[in-house]
Amino acid sequence: MKFFVDTADTNEIQDLAEAGLLDGVTTNPSLIMKAGRPFKEVIAEICKLVPGPVSAEVTALDAETMIAEGRHLAEIAENVAVKVPLTWDGLKACRTLSNEGHMVNVTLCFNATQALMAGRAGATFVSPFIGRIDDLGNDGMELISEIRQIYDNYDYIETQILAASIRTPNHVKMSALAGADVATVPPAVLRSLVKHPLTDKGIETFVADWAKTGQTIL
């Protein structure tokens, strides 16, 4: 499974990218608002930090303006993935932008038929929002499994399932088990994926015992 980070904070992105564990980045208008910086400037900076797909979201609601915005965003860098909402107009824009050779991330997916339509529209990524489904008392992970099955039934290999709205390490594990191609993860959750108290305890013991040997490796 590939890992994207879900943030527009360039300091965080730089730090995570340096570890070599980042395959891409997703942003949305709320994350851009949090970053408090000009949208296109931030996207350009992120595209330089991470060579993989960087999602930049259109804000128009009609297909024609979405297409114009999408083309404009795609000019920022080759690795921009234009993000469009999962609406009829969004899918029309997806089809056009995808036919023009742009990567498209169809976002705000909350059921399997929406994902089926995104695949039909030539999406590069479809983003089911797990956490927001869980918030309503439903099971976001079930949606990932359904989409996986549907895409496999029809060989929708062109569209990658991008598990989004991830809130916990367990969401990441369950997405991987359900066959998501990518998980976009907030920085704090991404860092917590390597944490285990027994790892910390084990290191503590090894460091203490090694000190008792009086030896050095270098």
If one asks whether residue 114 binds ligand E4P (CB under 6 A), the answer comes out as: no
With CB under 6 A as the contact rule, the residue among 81, 84, 106, 129 that binds ligand E4P is 129
Interacting span for ligand E4P (CB under 6 A) from 84-92, 124-132, 172-180, 207-215:
124-132
Closer CB to ligand E4P, residue 74 or residue 209? 74
Q: What per-residue string of b and e applies to 63-97 under the rule 16 or more CB within 10 Å gives b?
A: beebbebbeebbebbebbbbbbbbbebbbbbbbbb
With CB under 6 A as the contact rule, the residue among 94, 123, 164, 172 that binds ligand E4P is 164
What is the total count of residues that contact ligand E4P (CB under 6 A)?
11
If one asks whether residue 107 binds ligand E4P (CB under 6 A), the answer comes out as: yes
Closer CB to ligand E4P, residue 28 or residue 79? 28
Provide the token pair at 93. Answer: 């824009």
Q: Round to whole Å and give the CA distance between 190 and 207.
A: 26
If one asks whether residue 26 binds ligand E4P (CB under 6 A), the answer comes out as: yes
Provide the token pair at 166. Answer: 């991830």
Is residue 92 part of the annotated active site? The answer reads: no
If one asks whether residue 2 binds ligand E4P (CB under 6 A), the answer comes out as: no
Q: Round to whole Å and give the CA distance between 122 and 97.
A: 9
If one asks whether residue 181 binds ligand E4P (CB under 6 A), the answer comes out as: no
Annotated catalytic residue: which of 40, 83, 173, 195? Answer: 83
State the nearest-atom distance from the C-beta of 209 to ligand E4P, in Å: 42
Provide the token pair at 214. Answer: 């009086």
Q: What is the DSSP string of 110-178?
A: -SHHHHHHHHHTT-SEEEEBHHHHHHTTS-HHHHHHHHHHHHHHTT-TTSEEEEBS--SHHHHHHHHHH
Looking at the DSSP bridge assignments, the partners of residue 4 are 24, 184
Closer CB to ligand E4P, residue 28 or residue 98? 28
State the nearest-atom distance from the C-beta of 165 to ligand E4P, in Å: 3
Provide the token pair at 12. Answer: 């965080």
Closer CB to ligand E4P, residue 106 or residue 207? 106
- Among residues 143, 141, 139, 142, the alpha carbon closest in space to that of 172 is found at 141
Interacting span for ligand E4P (CB under 6 A) from 68-76, 89-97, 109-117, 129-137:
129-137
If one asks whether residue 165 binds ligand E4P (CB under 6 A), the answer comes out as: yes
Give the SS3 label for residue 192. Answer: helix
Binding residues (CB under 6 A) for ligand E4P: these are 6, 26, 28, 107, 127, 129, 131-132, 164-165, 184
Give the active site residues. 83
